[in-house]
Structure 1
Amino acid sequence: MSTSYQETLRVRFRDTDSQGHMFFANYLVFADEVAGNYMRELGFDWSNPGGLPCYVFTANVSCDYLHECLSGDEVEVSIAYERIGNTSATLGFSMRRLSDNVKLAKGSFAQVFVDRETRKPTPVPDSVRAAFPG
């Protein structure tokens, strides 16, 4: 996966489960947070839904858990578009712990771009197409 955008997040105690490692769903929360910030750079300011070029619905999520992460770990989350279609795209992510460079997880979000009024699929905006490395 080529990296288009990345951020570092720290695992908080509240992100962990009773076994002491990050709760499985929070890997997706971390990836979604960074993906949202990346999408903001591409013209999707979620604080102003009326100004969006279209909506973006997540149609599918996948995540492969490769290694555990603990409270206090600094995690680098990398996001990049892996595929762009006519009205949909796949946004991939990977996560690694900074202290030892261990890869923690990888996965993807399948996105469908939809018209704000009709909620029907609409072409992927040019700002997203421009972010696709392929």
Structure 2
Amino acid sequence: MQSQLPFSDNVKVRFRDLDAQGHLYFANYLVYGDEVLGAYMEELGLDIMDPLVAPCLIFTVNIHCDYINEIGGNSEVRVTVGYSRLGKSSADAVFELYHSDDGTLLAKGGLTQVFVDPKTRKSIPIPAFYRANVLERQPSLAD
């Protein structure tokens, strides 16, 4: 299965990421999606690692995941990410995890991000440069 999402990266499944049954612990599917989404956001110009200089904070207010297949240790997962909706001050990001060897879909899900002023902690419009960079990759999201 091929993903239509605009960004991907591979993640090595480490022993510490497994549960007692020897497959990826369920919460780590979310961690992998979040890690690759963060890399995509940085590529789009939004570096939020230093809250003192970041143009905004991003609060995750909802997250969901559909688990489809298991994956064991010493494997590699291809994580693809993108957006499914851009609102005024919030956006819905989506992720898909695939087994790197055979392309088997492992999980898919998403999260809602709210863009927030670092000082007031109130929602603000998605920064214009970031919106433009997302739309350049995913023009179908234009209003």
| Other-structure match for 2:117 | 115
Structure 1 length as normaliser, TM-score? Answer: 0.94
Contact 1:75 1:98 in 2 (8 A): yes
Structure 2 length as normaliser, TM-score? Answer: 0.88
Deviation >6 Å, runs of 4+: none
| Other-structure match for 1:7 | 9
The Cα offsets for residues 56-113 of structure 1, whole Å up to 9 and x where unpaired, read as 1000000000000110111000000110001100000001001111000000010000
Contact 1:43 1:52 in 2 (8 A): no
Aligned length: 134
Aligned-residue CA RMSD (Å): 1.3
Q: Structure 1 residues 40-49 or 7-16, which shifts more?
A: 40-49
1:123: Cα distance to partner? 0.3
Give the share of equivalent positions with the same residue, in percent: 46
Looking at structure 2, the residues matched to 13 and 50 of structure 1 have their Cα atoms a distance apart, in angstroms, of 35
Looking at structure 2, the residues matched to 72 and 80 of structure 1 have their Cα atoms a distance apart, in angstroms, of 26
Q: Structure 1 residues 2-11 or 46-55, which shifts more?
A: 46-55
Looking at structure 2, the residues matched to 127 and 107 of structure 1 have their Cα atoms a distance apart, in angstroms, of 26
User: In the TM superposition, what are the counterparts of 1:39-50 in structure 2 within 5 Å?
Assistant: 39-50=41-52
Looking at structure 2, the residues matched to 56 and 26 of structure 1 have their Cα atoms a distance apart, in angstroms, of 20
Contact 1:58 1:111 in 2 (8 A): yes
CA 1:68 to 1:93, structure 2 compared with 1: closer, same or farther past 3 Å?
Answer: same
Structure 1, gaps ≥5 residues long:
none
